[in-house]
Structure 1
C-alpha cells in the first residue's frame, strides 16, 4: 500500500510539472517600466515585504502580538512608506498599481492595530483575518503587474 502512495504522489508530481511546462510563454500581466536602479531597489523592498510576512507568521505562531504589530507597521504599514521612498516609486506606477500599493500599506497598518488589540485580548482571529487581507493586496499586485 505504501508503494502505491509513492507511485501516486510521483505521478501527480509529474503531471503537475508537465502542466506547468505546457503553460503559454506569454505573461498577461501589465509590464511596468522602472529605471534600472529603481527597479533593483523596488525588488529588494518587495523581498523585504515577503520576509516581513514570514516573520509576522512566525511571531503569530508564538502569540507574540507585539512583534507582529511592530513588523506590520514599521516594515509594511503607513509608517514605512517614507523609508521605502513610496512617493518617488509611485511616480513610475500605473494608477491601479498605486491603488493596490496604498491599500497594502493601509492593510498593514490595520493589521498592526489588530495585533495591538490581540495583545490585550489574546484572540488571534482578527489578526489572522487582517493578515489575509494584507496578503490579498500582495497577490493582486503580483498577479496584475510585473516590473521591467
Structure 2
C-alpha cells in the first residue's frame, strides 16, 4: 500500500493534477455502470479522533481556499502566513499531529509529513515572491502541498 500511495503521489505531481488520480481509478465520474469499489486502505481511528481529523481536513481545505484568495489579491505574504500557521510544520501542535499519527499507517504519516513540509516551503517561497514578484516557485510548492493531500485521500480513508 505504501508503494501504491507513493506511486500515486508521484504520478499526480508529475502529471500536474487530477488526471493522474482519475487514471488510477479513484474518481470516475463518467461511469454510469456498476459503482467502482473503493480501493483505499481503511484506517481505524478512535471515534473522537475521526471527528477531530475530519475537522482538521476541512480546515486544511479552507486554508487552501484562503491562500488562493490571498494570492489572487496580490498578497503573497498573507498567503504564506496562512500556509505556515494552518498547514505548515508550525501547525503540527495545533492539529495534535503526534496523537493522531499513532493510528496512521507509515505511508499515511509520510503523506502528511510531505504535505506539512511542502506548505512550509510554500510559505517561504510566498515570502520570497513578495520581494521578487516571482510566483512560480511558490505555486510549485503549493501544488506539491495539494498533491500530498490528494495522494493521501486517494490511498486512505478513515473508518
Q: TM-score range by the shorter chain?
A: 0.7 to 0.9
State the match for 1:44 in structure 2.
Answer: 55
- Normalised by the size of structure 2, how large is the TM-score? 0.79
Q: Which has the larger radius of gyration?
A: 1
1:38 and 1:54 map into 2 onto residues whose CA distance is: 24
Residue of structure 1 equivalent to 2:74: 63
Which aligned pairs between 1:40-119 and structure 2 lie closer than 5 A? 40-119=51-130
Which sections of structure 1, spanning at least 5 residues, go unmatched? 1-15
Unpaired runs of 5+ in structure 2? 1-27
Q: When the two structures are superposed, what TM-score results if normalisation uses the length of structure 1?
A: 0.85
How many Å separate the matches in 2 of 1:43 and 1:21? 29
Aligned residues: 132
Give runs of ≥4 in structure 1 deviating > 6 Å: none
Task: Give the direction of change, closer, same or farther, for the CA distance of 1:76–1:26 in structure 2 (3 Å limit).
Answer: same
Which structure carries more helix by proportion?
A: 1
Distance (Å, rounded) in 2 between the aligned partners of 1:20 and 1:51: 29
Q: Does 1:31 align with 2:42?
A: yes
